[in-house]
Amino acid sequence: MFSFLPEPYKAKAKREYDLRLWASICLMLGCVSLVSAALVFPAYLSARSTNTSAATAYSVAVEAEASSVNKDADAAIMQAKSYMSAFQTLIPLDADEVVSSIVGAKPQGVSITSISIGDTDDGIQVSIGGVASTREELLAFSNALENVSDFSAVNLPVDYLANDTNTDYTISLSIKIQNQ
């Protein structure tokens, strides 16, 4: 392309052209930045609120777990009592009394995770499962169950006394039937 402009005007026109080109590029980059920020900001707020609510839910769950370790066991025991009351018509014993005797004999460091009851040829058998924090508390629980007059035999296998702490246990009880 031929230009009949003198050299100083050509240089000025080229400078003006370059300036407008860079201004246009910067303006386009600014618009793209604004649009991308506008699109990312709601996602940021959503992720932040999700993380905050998840963190809050987690901390509430941790606090609830810490404060309700014994409450969960007590709730499970209450549920077991309700199941056992349904068996009361089939088995001639007061299930509430049996569960109350077991829970009453339980020391602080012993948790009960399961209670099962069954009718065998030898009479009624109750199996208690759980975790004892120390061997001494497990022995104290076994001895307390032996002192309950409703139970004719308490069987704690020696294997459960091998660990000093956090011992999983299963104790078997035989129940005296009043009308036999």
* Sign of CA pseudo-dihedral 33, 36, 41, 44: negative
The 3-class SS string of 47-92 reads HHHHHHHHHHHHHHHHHHHHHCHHHHHHHHHHHHHHHHHHHCCCCC
Count other Cβ atoms within 10 Å, centred on residue 98: 22
| CA–CA separation, 46 and 34 (whole Å) | 19
Confidence at residue 180, expressed as pLDDT on a 0 to 100 scale: 45
**pLDDT one digit per residue (tens) for the chain, 180 residues:** 577 888 888 889 899 999 999 999 999 999 999 998 888 888 777 766 666 666 676 666 666 655 555 566 667 777 777 666 555 544 556 667 778 888 888 888 888 888 888 777 777 888 899 998 988 898 898 888 888 877 888 888 887 778 788 888 888 888 866 554
- Degrees to nearest 5, angle at CA 109 with 142 and 126: 40
Provide, for the chain, the percentages of residues in helix, strand and coil under a 3-state DSSP scheme, each rounded to the nearest 5: 60, 20, 20
pTM of the prediction?
0.48
